[in-house]
Structure 1
Amino acid sequence: MGGQGIEDDITAYRGLVRAEQEAWRERLLRLSHDLHAEPELSFAEHRSVTKVTDVLREAGFTVEPGPADVPTAFTAEYGAGEFTVGICAEYDALPDIGHACGHNIIASAAVGAAIGLAAVADELGVRVKVVGTPAEEHGGGKVLLLERGVFDDVTVAMMVHPAQHDTHPGHFSSQAVSRFAVTYGGRASHAAAAPHLGVNAADAAVVAQVAIGLLRQQITADCRIGLFVREGGAVTNIIPERSVVDCEVRAFEFDEMSELKQRVLACFEAGALATGTTMAVEPTEPDYAELVQEPEMSELFAAHIESLGRELRDTRGTRGGSTDMGNVSKVLPSIHPSIAITGCEHPPHTHGFAAAAATPAADDAVFDGAVAMALTAVDVAIDPVLRQKFLAEQATRGTAATRI
């Protein structure tokens, strides 16, 4: 087929996608507001899953609830082509401040992208697979689904995330993060009558925090260490026999993060050594890898976002933030761009951002994100070089590469 023929086909497919999405616009925006009105925490997103999958069923998708023994996950599929486009939907909220990361926008944009792409799926030889991924904030839903094979049949994956600015996917990454709890065990005693018989577990936590505070001077600016004392005693007249510290370590490369984690653990060991307490370490959730944005898909998405009148901001050098989409991106070609809630003055994870996630500007982010993702998928599927490249990568990937 000549170049002009391909261009004509792309134009026709884009028109069909846009027409289908326009027909569903009000339903998609209502979904976003319905999710926003009833925020649910990680692994408890039961009403949210029902809301999202009800729309997908209405659009003719086949829904599988609870794949891989993850109750608040789902998959929804349309089409039977060899090329599977995976679109990730997040819908968990944050404690106390609700949808302050805009996951209502993420889920609704994912549904909109899938519905638009389904309109041309048979013609393109594409299978559309929406993967409902719970517990992104805490719990690593995508990691569980990845390790249990839910992404094995996905050729490429994508999602969009709301932010204060529109970003080129290729200019944005995220930090790898490891979260764990350290428990110190000591011996209780009367703090006034027999303090010398006690082994103070709370002191171990203090020593560790001081050591970590000093360590922060010796790490690079793109690394982060965060912690809080979850348990550290009950009353003043009993030497605490148990303390628990929750900690996270971040860096922009997984290996660098792992090395920093060992240095942090040495600080915790110092607390145990100095106080004579025992020490146990356990992960509190799966490790998240850094994002790897697929370059050619990134350029396609960026072009479509700009065609919608959005101005991309160069965010290279941005610090902070982690996502379990990083684990997916380390295994298969993926994009995770940011889309602006235009005019929002508040960063994510604030009350201000939560309020902005249900405004007309948030509605625009839902629809524009859906359009740009669907059109990116059309471009990839119809390009014979890209299509074959990604299918070949999928064929050689197998199931052994599901862990970072």
Structure 2
Amino acid sequence: MKEDIKNIIKDIKEELIELSEYIYKNPELGYEEYKACDVHERLLQEHGFKVEKEYMGMETAFRAVFDSGKEGPTVAYLSEYDALPDIGHGCGHNILGTTSTGAGIALSKFLKDLGGKVVVFGTPAEETSGGKVYMTDNGAFDDIDIALMAHPAEKHYKSGASLAMDAIEFVFRGRTAHAASNPDKGINALDAAINTFNNINAMREHIRTDARVHGIIKDGGRAANIVPDLAIAQFYTRATTKTYLKELSERVKNCARGASLAAGTELEIRNYEASYDNLITNSILSDIYVKHLRDMGVKDIQEPKESFGSLDAGNVSHVCPTIHPYFAISEKEIVAHTREFAEETIKPFAYSQMVKTIGALVWTGLDVIKDKQLLDSIKAEFTKVEP
């Protein structure tokens, strides 16, 4: 089996390198990834996938399906391809999306004999208001048996966890007045924003140590001699579980409500970006992937990254069994979200590890398709996990 997988990946390797490097040279921000989306779609079509473009109304999303025509599980790979402002593919989504699309193509070569389906999702805007959130909310993964992806990093890491995240905006509205002549006539919106921060800072002593609350004042007035009638504060709240995030976010909102009441302002509360759920790694699925990554020749696999970031793949993991491991793209220490990280994604070492990662992703999919009892155990674990 390993040699068959290696030979298939070898046959498509140059196409995958061309895909990754084209996207690297043409970085596009979230929901603007027209070129990246198009080249992914065309490559998948060339390999027999039926592609639904502008998936769920998103111009740079797609759903590509290879259906064997026989009964069997549906395996999904998640492709990302958005870049960062100014520094391009400093998060490596050029090679991430290529790895997922490559895995989908390679797995499809086995399905006519085995049955089942493979789906490759093009998921835009992971760096901002993640496309996977909208896709999950609208049922994209309801018929998926397992979802797989792997993210570039400085080393190989097992799939772990991420923080659930809410993006909350507070808009305080007061009344202007001359700050020296008639301060009593004004209602200071900036006071409400500042006291929101003070309330949150007092609350920090009484929240879980692995939770996070951080924010900015986006608008706080225009001139020191005018009482500000508008102030806008934006916060991210993060927690290890979706359940605790709901509690934490409500407490943060109460901090703003109290500050608004004290200052006499009106208050509007809204989410200014999509909320991300915490990533729940399916341990059985992860163990299979790690085993096959070793079979592909990777011996140094680290325990899950100790990360306090958030991923829109987390939302997928609440709907179907999911893993989100990391794979090495450099032989030296590098930091993500830098130009140096982007440069490493198109070097020979990165492509050598991409090939091994694709092999492990494909082999994991094959195991699930061939072994119904294995899939049953994966799903049994999924149903028992607390959100």
Note if 1:168 corresponds to 2:167: no
Note if 1:312 corresponds to 2:301: yes
The offset of 1:336, in angstroms, is: 0.9
Alignment coverage as a number of residue pairs? 381
- Counterpart selection for 1:196 from 184, 197, 213: 184
The offset of 1:292, in angstroms, is: 1.4
The offset of 1:388, in angstroms, is: 5.2
Contact 1:224–1:251 at 8 Å: present in 2 too? yes
The offset of 1:277, in angstroms, is: 1.0
The offset of 1:182, in angstroms, is: 0.8
- Counterpart selection for 1:98 from 73, 88, 100: 88
Letter in 2 for 1:241: D
2:119 corresponds to: 129
The offset of 1:390, in angstroms, is: 6.2
Q: Give the secondary structure class of the aligned counterpart of 1:372.
A: helix
So what's the TM-score if we normalise by structure 1? 0.88
The offset of 1:226, in angstroms, is: 1.5
The offset of 1:114, in angstroms, is: 0.8
In 2, distance between residues paired with 1:296 and 1:391?
9
Q: Give the secondary structure class of the aligned counterpart of 1:43.
A: coil
Letter in 2 for 1:52: H
In 1, distance between residues paired with 2:112 and 2:287?
25
Contact 2:298–2:356 at 8 Å: present in 1 too? no
Contact 1:17–1:119 at 8 Å: present in 2 too? no
So what's the TM-score if we normalise by structure 2? 0.92
Unaligned runs of 5+ in 1: 1-10, 397-403
Percent identical pairs in the alignment equals: 35
Q: Structure 1 pair 138/125, CA: closer, same or farther in 2 (3 Å)?
A: same
In 2, distance between residues paired with 1:392 and 1:223?
29
Q: What does residue range 45-194 of structure 1 map to in structure 2 within 5 Å?
A: 45-80=33-68, 81=70, 82-169=72-159, 172-194=160-182
2:195 corresponds to: 207
In 1, distance between residues paired with 2:205 and 2:331?
36
Q: Give the secondary structure class of the aligned counterpart of 1:75.
A: strand
Moved more, 210-219 or 323-332: 210-219
Letter in 1 for 2:303: D
Contact 1:291–1:329 at 8 Å: present in 2 too? yes
1:332 corresponds to: 320
The offset of 1:63, in angstroms, is: 0.9
The offset of 1:392, in angstroms, is: 9.2
Aligned-residue Cα RMSD (Å) equals 2.2
Letter in 2 for 1:274: A
1:401 corresponds to: none
In 2, distance between residues paired with 1:392 and 1:190?
65
In 2, distance between residues paired with 1:269 and 1:391?
42
The offset of 1:243, in angstroms, is: 1.2
Q: Structure 1 pair 230/354, CA: closer, same or farther in 2 (3 Å)?
A: farther
The offset of 1:242, in angstroms, is: 0.9
Unaligned runs of 5+ in 2: none
